[in-house]
Amino acid sequence: MTKRRIAPQDFASLYSQYNANLAFVDCGRKCAPLNGGQPVCCSTENAIPVVDKAEYKLLKSRTDLWFDYKPNDAVSRRIVDELNDHACAVECKGAAFCERDNRTIACRSFPFYPYLDKAGKFIGLTYYWDFEDRCWIISNMQVVERKFVEEMVAAFERIFKLDPEEYDTMKSHSANMRRVFSRKKKIIPVIHRDGGYFKIKPGDKGKLTACTPDDFKKFGPYKSEAAYIKAVKAAGGKLEPAPKKGYLAA
């Protein structure tokens, strides 16, 4: 008998339970002026969405928003070539056409992923560090909403039960982050699943130390308001008013 794996209807259920705003500010308006007017997370020039084929099947049945991603350089070809048999790379029509109910799990989670400790325990959320200098949220983790954290944790708990390969992928990614950050002598920031902020110090054997978001480093143009204004002007972008409550790009 073939073992059941995650199916389109599972993703439909996940979508219904995992739809909280990442934060009540429009973070896409912060990074867009530095990215040709498009939020970083909504452009395959920065991030290529990868989905389970079962998820893609669901999306194709619900919307025409998504289509196959076509690699256009050596880096993107390598990313696509390294995907497992159950995954595929996709692309959407862009932020202007976003359908929030039809965002992928990857879109709903960006820039975060589930952090697993050395024993494989799902501790909480940390971020994809390749986007440190481009994603505003990574430099402003204090704005992440608790409801978002709770829904993301619940969603990935279900995904891990239905798809052991996804669990293994996140465990491997977490281990790689520990190696990279230890080598660079950087702390790993964690938003704990049970509440609070923690850091894992280099050489501290994975120990969680309670902290505040003020202990987390800010990156690139988001180091300060002055740095941000200077970067926007250099990029030829338009400075936006202070973020307002409402729709969030991520």
Output the tens digit of pLDDT for each of the chain's 250 residues: 556 789 999 999 999 999 999 998 889 999 999 998 999 999 888 889 999 999 999 999 999 999 999 998 899 999 999 998 999 999 999 999 999 999 999 999 999 999 999 999 999 999 999 999 999 999 999 999 999 999 999 999 999 999 999 999 999 999 999 999 999 999 999 999 999 999 999 988 889 999 999 999 999 999 999 999 999 999 998 886 654 444 344 4
What integer pLDDT is reported at residue 247 of this predicted model?
Answer: 39
CB-facing half-sphere around the CA of 48: CA atoms within 13 A: 20
What integer pLDDT is reported at residue 245 of this predicted model?
Answer: 45
pTM: 0.91
Give the Cβ contact number of residue 120 at 10 Å: 13
What integer pLDDT is reported at residue 155 of this predicted model?
Answer: 98
Domain chopping of the chain, boundaries: 8-235
What integer pLDDT is reported at residue 248 of this predicted model?
Answer: 43
115's enclosing H/E stretch is strand 112-116
Cβ proximity of 49 and 67 under 8 Å: no
